[in-house]
Structure 1
């Protein structure tokens, strides 16, 4: 398994299969690339199934154990089942989706090899959901979650971005997962550095403190130094699991990152928050993929605490050591 110079092994990859999406979520950062979503029709710059599988076969040589397929909305790819079925057997396969296409396809995805799924659900009320996603697809998402559970995906993790418009629905979402076996909740800190509108951000520590008061058990997870809160029971007694993803201004989070990302058009990305480290894989021959992957891992830097450091006033600023990093774009 390859490690960067900070001792962080790369054990997982996140592969964006498309930047297309049938939602228009107000907080979307499209895997850190910004709002680049295109039309609904397949685009020529998207990696083919063969290219995705070739990449996964190569990184499996380096001991990568997990792949998460993302987007955009990955289920807009009609060859998704094929890609999953051809993923190396040594890899755990998961996916993040808005859930609208799970009805009718969840069972086939499981048969292809999908093991876990994250479904974006930011509220328990249709009106609030529509305000955030700019769609009227609430009932379809609920149906998608049920389809995932019926197909045997376990757990089904609900993703909720916590910001000004959604924070008031956190207690309701926590009760929902506590009352429904098979569901878990992932509360994701809003990232204004990627999406703008810093006025939408809330103090995520308040959410931690509230959950700590409600929890029957608190578990520490090594990856990203995360905390898990078990509500309505413990990890051994069918409690509802709630986890917070809090990367903003968090050096500990970055110090425990073990992922490399792949853009929909075939660029390696060492850090979610950066786009000056995009590395092309050429024509995606196996040798080109190996070389690009080695270089990407070698150049990975913890964003907070290294790429960004605190100055004498306690404010974050770019570390001079990385100012001359050659920017690569996908144009």
Structure 2
């Protein structure tokens, strides 16, 4: 069992496979053009597999693939198959915007993917387009149906709550999920740059979960992040992957406050 300094069991690894996405959601990417990582800087599937094997060896049992948008990376099903075959890994999941699932859901299921979280922040076509900066709600909804058909279940809908999100928006999404047997996770929009403000604003609405945090994050360019709300990172040493993982666990803070060195698409949420 892998424990951190605060006796939290660490058994969950979130893996960002790319910083690229076919959307530019307002909470994830800046509107202005910015430099993506060079392909040569992104971990290969073999490198990710090596990290996952080492992680399983010290107690990681669940892996979630994120991005960016994981489905924009070529042959992602091959990585799913590699991870699903690792001894000790019980679950391989994915968070996706759903827009590419129509063509990929069945392939992913056959490769060993267990379930998906699908990000849909509004069922209003215009709001959805504005939030995603050009996304097509119809594609995302078709992705939900494809995931259901492929039995990538239980399916969870991630809905970010904005200042202009109305009660009607929330009730419409609740009804949508209830009618289709989907789980709904509402996420308050926040800034990585100042979690203190976020905590003050929402402390009565959502209890802090730092005390229950069980995860590490692997960035697409090969850094382990012990905490979403911290600048602490550990560069993976491929000559001593286990040592890198254990170092990251020792650097996991009791509580995080900010992260200034990466955008959300570079971490994977």
| Aligned equivalent of 2:154 | 155
| Aligned equivalent of 2:145 | 146
1:7 paired to 2:13:
no
1:55 paired to 2:43:
no
Higher helix share: 2
Distance 2:139 2:183 in 1: 19
Q: Please list, as runs of the form range in 1=range in 2, the aligned pairs for 1:21-32 lying within 5 A after superposition.
A: 21-28=21-28
Give the number of equivalent residue pairs.
253
Listed as ranges, the gaps of 5+ residues in structure 2 are: none
Distance 1:77 1:289 in 2: 24
| Aligned equivalent of 2:250 | 298
Distance 1:36 1:152 in 2: 37
1:166 Cα offset (Å): 2.8
Distance 2:215 2:33 in 1: 22
Q: Answer whether contact 2:57 2:88 (CA < 8 A) is retained.
A: no
Listed as ranges, the gaps of 5+ residues in structure 1 are: 209-245, 309-317, 319-326
Would you identify which runs of 4 or more consecutive aligned residues in structure 1 move more than 6 Å?
none
1:192 Cα offset (Å): 2.6
Q: Answer whether contact 2:160 2:189 (CA < 8 A) is retained.
A: yes
Query: Relative contact order, CA 8 A, sep 6+: which one is greater?
Result: 2
Find the partner of 2:88 among 90, 97, 110.
90
Q: Answer whether contact 1:164 1:202 (CA < 8 A) is retained.
A: no
TM-score, scaled to structure 2: 0.86
CA gap 1:137/1:16 in 2 versus in 1, 3 angstroms: same
TM-score, scaled to structure 1: 0.70
Higher Rg of the two aligned structures: 1
Q: Please list, as runs of the form range in 1=range in 2, the aligned pairs for 1:1-331 lying within 5 A after superposition.
A: 1-28=1-28, 38=35, 43-87=39-83, 88-91=86-89, 92-168=91-167, 169-181=169-181, 183-194=182-193, 203=202, 205=204, 246=206, 250=208, 253-275=209-231, 277-282=232-237, 284-285=238-239, 288-303=240-255
